[in-house]
Amino acid sequence: MKLVVIGFGQCGCRIADEFARLNKKAHGQRGIDIIIGAFAINTDAADLSGLSSIRSDYRHRILIGGRKTGGHGVGKINELGAEIAKEDGDKVIDAIRGTRRLYESDAFLLIASAAGGTGSGAIPIMTQYIKERHMDKPVYDLIVLPFEHEETTEERAIYNTATCIKSVNSIADAVILVDNQRYIRKNSSLRSNMAKINALIVEPFYNLLCAGEEKKAKYIGSKTLDAGDIIQTLTGWTAIGYGKSPVPMFNLPFVRKSDFRSKSTETHKGTQTMDEAMSELSIGCNPIDASRALYLLSAPSKEMSMSLVKELGDYLRSIAQKAIIRNGDYPREKAIVEVALILSGLSDVEKIREYYDKSTSLIPEFERRREEIEGRLKSMEEVGKDLPTLL
C-alpha cells in the first residue's frame, strides 16, 4: 500500500518525518516505496526546521498563516489553526498536486496532535479539502491524544482534543487513535521519549504497507495482504497494535523439528506475539466493539504453518466476535515472529467518551471565567472614569 503522508503542527510533522524515514528504510532494505510523498504543514517556522527526513524545500515543508502568526505558531488556539487552514489550504493542495506518481498512491494519511493548536484546527479542514479534490482515494486521520499531565494541567488541551476528534470523525474515512500515555517510558529524557514514541507509533505500519508492494517471489506470502484488504478494514474509530517475539531456539538447524515441544513452542510464540500486539494497541478498547479486524503475520517462511495461522485466527475470533476478520502472511523477517493488528469500526471508545464529557462541562466554565474577567475590567474602568488621560 502506498500513502501520501501529511503532518500538521509540531507533533504531526514529526510523525510524518518518521514515515519519511520508514520509506527510506523500506527502499534501502527491500527496494520498495511505501510513501509517495511526505509533507509537513505548520504555522511555526522553527518546528519545520527541526525535521530530518522530509525534504527541506518549500513544497514539502509548508509554512502557513505567516501573516497572522509571524511564523511563531497559534498558541494552542485551534479555532485560529482552523481559520488559517481555510485561508492557506490551497498551498497544501497545490503542493500535493505537484507530487510525482501521486496517482499511484492508494490513500492519504493525515497526522496531528488533538491537543495542540495548528494540527488540531487544521486537520479537519484539510481532510475535507482533500476528500473534495480526491474522491477516488480514502483519507485517514491519525490523531495523537495528549499525555495525562497535559490533561490535568491544561484544560485547553481537553477542549481542543474533543473538538478535533468530533470534527475529524464526521469527515475522515477512518480515525486511527493514538494515546501518547500508552507509549511513555518513565526514566527516559524528554527528547529521547518523544523520538521513541514517534518511532513506536509508526512501527506497526512497516510490514502492513510493505506486504502488498513486495516484488521478490520468495517474500510474497501464501495469502497476500494488500491495499484492498486494508481499505476494506479501515473505518471509523480505529486502533493499531504490534507485537514481536524472537524465533525459538528449537528451530535451530541441529534441533529435531519433529519434536512435540518444538511444535507447541512455535504455536505458543505466535499467540504470545498476538497477545503483545493486543496489549500494545494504540488506544485502550474492547475488541468485542470492533466490527472489522485485520492481522498480518510476518516470520521466516519455515516458521509459518497452517496450524499457527489457524491458532491466530481462532484467538482473534474468540475476542473480536462481531468483527469481519482479514489476515495475511509475509515471509520476510529472519529471526523474529511479528504480528501487526488493526481493530476498526469500534462502536465504543471510553477515552473519547471522557473527552466529550469533560469538554461539555468546560464550556460553561470558560464562559463564566470570561464574564468574570470582563466584569472586573469594567469595574476598574468605572473607578478611574473621572481621571484625565494623557492621550
Could you give the number of structural domains in the chain?
A: 2
Residues 229 and 336 in one domain: yes
Residue 206 belongs to what H/E stretch?
Answer: helix 205-211
Length of the chain, in residues: 391
CA distance 47 to 264: 51
Residues 146 and 52 in one domain: yes
Give 115's DSSP letter: S
Residue 320 buriedness (CB in 10 A; 0-12 / 13-18 / 19+):
buried
Residues 190 and 223 in one domain: no
Report if residue 367 sits inside a domain. no
Residues 6+ apart with CB under 8 A from 75: 117
Residues 161 and 267 in one domain: no
Q: Determine contact, residues 238/176, Cβ cutoff 8 Å.
A: yes
Report if residue 375 sits inside a domain. no
Here the cell at position 70 is: 509571524
Report in angstroms the alpha-carbon separations of 294 from 68, 77, 237, 238.
44, 37, 14, 11
CA distance 114 to 161: 4
Query: Closest Cα to residue 11, out of 123, 94, 96?
Result: 123
pLDDT 10s digit of each residue in the chain, 391 long?
999 999 999 999 999 999 999 999 999 999 999 999 999 999 988 889 989 999 999 999 999 987 788 777 888 889 999 999 999 999 999 999 988 889 899 999 999 999 989 999 999 999 999 999 998 999 999 999 998 888 888 888 899 999 999 999 999 999 999 998 888 765 555 666 788 899 999 999 999 999 999 988 888 888 889 999 999 999 999 999 999 888 764 444 544 455 544 545 556 777 888 999 999 999 999 999 999 999 999 988 887 878 888 888 898 999 999 999 999 999 986 788 899 999 999 999 999 999 999 888 877 776 776 777 777 777 777 777 777 877 7
Report if residue 349 sits inside a domain. no
Residues 6+ apart with CB under 8 A from 148: 181
Question: Residue 186: what pLDDT?
Answer: 53
Domain C-terminal end among 202, 231, 250: 202
Residues 48 and 145 in one domain: yes
Angle of helix 118-133 versus helix 9-30 axis, rounded to 10: 60
Residues 176 and 226 in one domain: no
Report if residue 274 sits inside a domain. yes
Residue 281 buriedness (CB in 10 A; 0-12 / 13-18 / 19+):
buried
Q: Determine contact, residues 281/313, Cβ cutoff 8 Å.
A: no
3-state secondary structure of 176: strand
Residues 137 and 276 in one domain: no
CATH of the domain at 53: 3.40.50.1440
Q: Which domain holds residue 264?
A: 217-344
CA-based end-to-end distance of the chain: 66
Residues 6+ apart with CB under 8 A from 269: 245, 247, 248, 337
Report if residue 256 sits inside a domain. yes
Report if residue 17 sits inside a domain. yes
Residues 305 and 183 in one domain: no
CATH of the domain at 274: 3.30.1330.20
| Exposure class string for 158-195: b at 16+ Cβ within 10 A, else e | bbbbbbbbebbbebbbbbbbbbbebbeeeeeeeeebbe
CA 116 to chain CA centroid, nearest Å? 15
Residue 214 buriedness (CB in 10 A; 0-12 / 13-18 / 19+):
buried
Q: Determine contact, residues 288/321, Cβ cutoff 8 Å.
A: yes
Residues 178 and 95 in one domain: yes
Report if residue 350 sits inside a domain. no
CA distance 230 to 29: 23
Residues 255 and 307 in one domain: yes
Report if residue 188 sits inside a domain. yes
User: Strand 336-344 to strand 324-330: parallel, antiparallel, or no bridges (unpaired)?
Assistant: unpaired
Question: Residue 249: what pLDDT?
Answer: 46
**Beta strands of 271-385 (E only): which ranges?**
292-298, 324-330, 336-344
Residues 38 and 184 in one domain: yes
